[in-house]
Amino acid sequence: MSQSVLASSGGVGLEAARRRTFAVISHPDAGKSTMTEALALHARVIGQAGAVHGKGDRKGVVSDWMAMEQQRGISVTSAALQFSFGDTVVNLLDTPGHADFSEDTYRVLTAVDSAVMLLDAAKGLEPQTLKLFEVCRQRSIPVITFINKWDRPGHDALALMDEIEQRIGLKPTPLTWPVGIAGHFKGVVDRRTGQFTRMQRSPGGADLAIEEEMTDAEAAERFGDEWTTANEELELLTMTGADHDQEAFLAATSTPVLFGAAVANLGVRQLLDILVELAPPAGARPTAAGGEQPVDAGFSGFVFKIQANMNRAHRDQVAFMRICSGRFERGMIVTHATTGKPFTTKYAQQIFGQGRDTIDEAFPGDVVGLVNATALGIGDTLYADKKVQYPPLPSFPPEHFAVVRTDDTGAFKRFRRGIEQLDGEGVVQVLRSDQRGDGTPVFAAVGPMQFEVATYRLEAEFGVKVKLEFLPYEIAAVTDAAGKEILRTESNVEVMTRVRDGALLAVFPHRWRLRTVAGRHPDLHLDAPIDITAA
């Protein structure tokens, strides 16, 4: 279990300066959950890593708490870990990498101050990686890049640097450089000090890596041509000006780069040190009104995630809140910005994967779990003293639709309760169709794996087996009441109500049909679908 991060003294500004709140993001299978666990291992808040033999045996990864994740070795939901590392409080958010869960990942990105992007040394920049880099750049989120799996065969290190710069437009500024090509990893040179650290996987790979600092002469004698090649590459990096610039990093125009292998705990210590040293602390946050909320203002925060049944012993619901300003105290009465109603924060917890501890106070940058906060929704702002509201969180148009039914009439109450829970968490969007009635809701999803998660959880958590009937729609656009009446005359088009907010969604089988209908009815209101990478 994580160390206590409760502060006994010091002002809010000082406490905010101690926080490092970041997300670990990447394409699927690049090693996010393994890296999350490796960082916790190096901070000495867990004893051994569970991710030592790849996904098949990765049952112990602390951030994958859902049974489905542990069984299949994938992350389908984001997870929060909080721990101390020296004088720094680390709030680490692990995210799902699969594109079907992009909405969850992008919501997490609204709650962090920086990100660690993992690149697979053998695969380089993959489609989801490119999208995530673009989102970070648009949101001005500083990104540290970690070239992972350097203990396996992969691309040339310089070629990866060129790929980052040419395809993303961020200037890579390596802080460590590998000695030995991918698959023959000997260690890294710290470019700022020139110190070479030899790295070796610990027996079994579950403990901290074995590290040995060596002089240039020792390294040259030990590694010969590999050492010579690394030094030639280092000279080239210096000649091309690939040196770290803190201002450019914070402006999200350059990305520091490190090399290692998370599954073997190689290079992870260096990454943790760099995060503490260079990643931005909690700072002023933009508000919906267009200003900024300084960290030392009155308490405020927003909910970026809701998750139920993380702990089967409690069967409760947790709202994850990013604290933006002021000091949070458990039990304080705050105001719900949207409704204006008071809200009591009686059950507040520090989250560590599936584990949790009650906390008494927290500060800007911290992520607090509010238990059984059923009055809260994703994107809600809470504040004390002067009113503040944070921008709404991104919501993306669904591209997959399915009617959900159960044949068990005796389970209908549990069926409805489960549907409401999944909708509140944002696992899927739930739509109501006039053609089918309230008893047969429609699931709408960005990607088809969301259906799999939803049906799994309905059975595992609510004891309800369901059947899905897929609908022939691929695109949705928001319309209005007048548009609903117009569209009644069109075939292969349906208007449904989004339960969460009452919005009317017009669904079409493809873009061609949408364009045809829009051209036929010039007065028809249809909000153009958005690209999730531009949200």
Q: How many helices (H) and strands (E) does the chain have?
A: 14, 30
262, two tokens: 């998370």
* Residue 98 marked ligand-binding: yes
Q: In which residue are the tokens 């989004």 written?
A: 498
- Structural contact between residues 285 and 389, judged by C-beta atoms closer than 8 angstroms: no
Cα distances from 57 to residues 49, 66, 282, 422, 483, in angstroms, run: 11, 15, 36, 29, 52
Q: Is 95 annotated as a binding residue?
A: yes
Side chain identity at residue 218, one-letter code: E
What's 531's DSSP letter? P
Q: What percentage of the chain's residues is helix, strand, coil (to nearest 5)?
A: 30, 30, 45
Measured between its terminal Cα atoms, the distance across the chain in Å is 36
DSSP per position, 136-161: HHHTT--EEEEEE-TTS----HHHHH
Q: 455 and 418 in contact (C-beta within 8 Å)?
A: no
**How many Å apart are CA 203 and CA 187, to the nearest integer?**
17
Specify whether the CB–CB gap between 21 and 324 falls below 8 A.
no
Query: Is the CB of residue 335 less than 8 Å from the CB of residue 383?
Result: yes
Residue with tokens 């680490």: 92
Tell whether residue 96 is among the known ligand binding residues: yes
List the one residue out of 251, 311, 335, 345 whose CA is nearest residue 66. 311
SS3 197: strand
Q: Which two tokens stand for residue 349?
A: 């917890």
Q: Could you tell me the two tokens for 512? A: 């061609």
Distance CA 18, CA 6 (A): 12
- Report the sign of the C-alpha dihedral through residues 203, 208, 213, 217, in that order: positive
Alpha carbon of residue 494 to chain centroid: 33
Measured distance CA(394)–CA(83) in Å, rounded? 28
Q: Is the CB of residue 324 less than 8 Å from the CB of residue 334?
A: no
Which residues contribute to the annotated binding site? 94-98
Annotated binding site for GTP: 94-98
